[in-house]
Amino acid sequence: MKEKIIFLTGPTAAGKSEVAVRLARKINAEIISCDSMQIYKGMEVVSSQPGTRLRKIITHHLLGIVPFSKEYNAAAYRRGALKKIEQIIKKGKTPLFVGGTGLYMSVLLDGIFRVKAQDPLLRQRLYRQAEDSGSSFLYERLLKVDPAAAAKIHPNDTRRIVRALEVFEITGKPISLLQKQRKGITDKYDVRIFCLNIERDKLHQRIAERLDGMFKRGLIAEVKRLFSRQRLGKTAAAAIGIKELNGYFKGAYDLSEAKRRMIRNTCLYAKRQLTWFRKDKRIEWIEIGGSEKPTAIANRIFKEIS
């Protein structure tokens, strides 16, 4: 029998961390973060890392391990996560991935596309054609040579259209076919993916309430420290709260406006997360009420696993 690996995902502020700890106790699991911001040191508040209380109950991995001045990507995450999977299974426990970064989840489930077919001159020619004739001209060509890839790419997404055509012209094979040759953990393990979902208005309320809590826990002081110590890496600087508070620090607007922008941008991020998750038909959706307790939600997921 294949070893089990569980994913608990969902939009930001859906309550994944609290549910995960209760679920982990039921299935004898250790938690592996699947969050592109929680990987950074010194960003505990702005990235909403699980607090000390939760981390004392269940062992957590891949939290706060990368200096915020360093770059980090999905490939590096995949390498680290695969090692943690092996370590946890050797202990006789279940790996439980928790977080809302869809790309990190994807590179684990399906592997990484490693075809290195590149031709700068060809790429430049394709971009010139897009400028002269429009991206729709290249899209029509992609429809003919790789309809499967075209079905997943927006006609205005010039970058992805060019990349698909570049790979086809160099290799003679559709990029959609080459991508299917990727190998992820679904080939080796029994994987279940659960996504928490909550009504939009209730989710937006939770986002606002969580932000209030972040300010009480010292969000302003933490972001000031980030700016004072050393230059933020490009990825870490993209965390919601960094740019918004920087505008407040510089006097471009007051604190209430900074908070409004953080709430707005977090709500937009949650919408993008849900759009990503809805495309994955392997996901099992867990509809939750605004007042439903984490223990009750964990019990429902446990019944599905059992």
Tens-digit pLDDT profile for residues 199-227: 999 999 999 999 999 999 999 999 999 99
Q: Which of 154, 179, 204 is the last residue of a domain?
A: 179
Global pTM reads 0.84
* Residue finishing a domain among 158, 179, 200: 179
Residues 12 and 160 in one domain: no
**Cα–Cα separations (whole angstroms), residue 106 to 93, 146, 211, 268:** 23, 22, 28, 21
**Which segment, 17-31, 66-80, 112-126, 156-170, is predicted with the most confidence on average?**
17-31
Assess whether 194 and 294 both reside in one domain: yes
Q: Are residues 102 and 72 in the same domain?
A: yes
CATH of the domain at 127: 1.10.20.140
Give the model confidence (pLDDT) of 131-160 as tens digits: 999 999 999 999 999 999 999 898 988 988
Q: pLDDT tens digits for 225-277? A: 999 986 889 899 999 999 999 999 999 999 999 999 999 999 999 999 999 99
Among candidate residues 12, 5, 4, the one with its CA nearest the CA of residue 35 = 12
Structural domain count of the chain:
2
Q: Do residues 158 and 199 share a domain? A: no
Across 83-189, the runs of DSSP E, i.e. the strands, are 94-98
Give the pLDDT confidence score for residue 126 in this predicted structure.
95
Residues 205 and 229 in one domain: yes
Two structure tokens written together for 75: 């490939």
User: CA-to-CA distance for 153 and 148, rounded, in angstroms?
Assistant: 9
For 273, the domain range is: 4-112+185-305
- Report the CATH number that the domain containing residue 29 is assigned in CATH: 3.40.50.300
Q: Which long-range contacts (CB under 8 A, 24 or more apart) does 87-93 make?
A: 88/29, 88/30, 88/32, 88/61, 89/3, 91/30, 92/28, 93/28, 93/29, 93/30
User: What is the rounded average pLDDT of the residues 154-173?
Assistant: 91
In the predicted structure, residue 115 carries a pLDDT above the cut 80: no
189 contact partners, CB below 8 Å, separation of at least 6? 2, 3, 4, 5, 85
Residues 232 and 86 in one domain: yes
User: What is the distance between the alpha carbons of residues 130 and 28, in angstroms, rounded to a whole number?
Assistant: 54
End-to-end, the C-alpha distance of the chain in Å comes to 15
Q: DSSP per residue over 234-302, as a string? A: TTGGGSTTHHHHHHHHTTSS-HHHHHHHHHHHHHHHHHHHHHHHHT-TTEEEEE--TT--HHHHHHHHH
Residues 170, 194 within the same domain? no
pLDDT tens digits, one per residue of 37-78? 999 999 999 999 999 999 999 999 999 999 999 989 999 999
Residues 56 and 133 in one domain: no
Closest alpha carbon to 75 in 232, 271, 235, 269: 235
If asked whether residues 82 and 161 sit together in one domain, one would say: no
Among 162, 179, 196, give the residue marking a domain's end. 179
Residues 124 and 142 in one domain: yes
User: Is residue 129 domain-shared with residue 175, that is, in the same domain?
Assistant: yes
Same domain flag for 100 and 240: yes
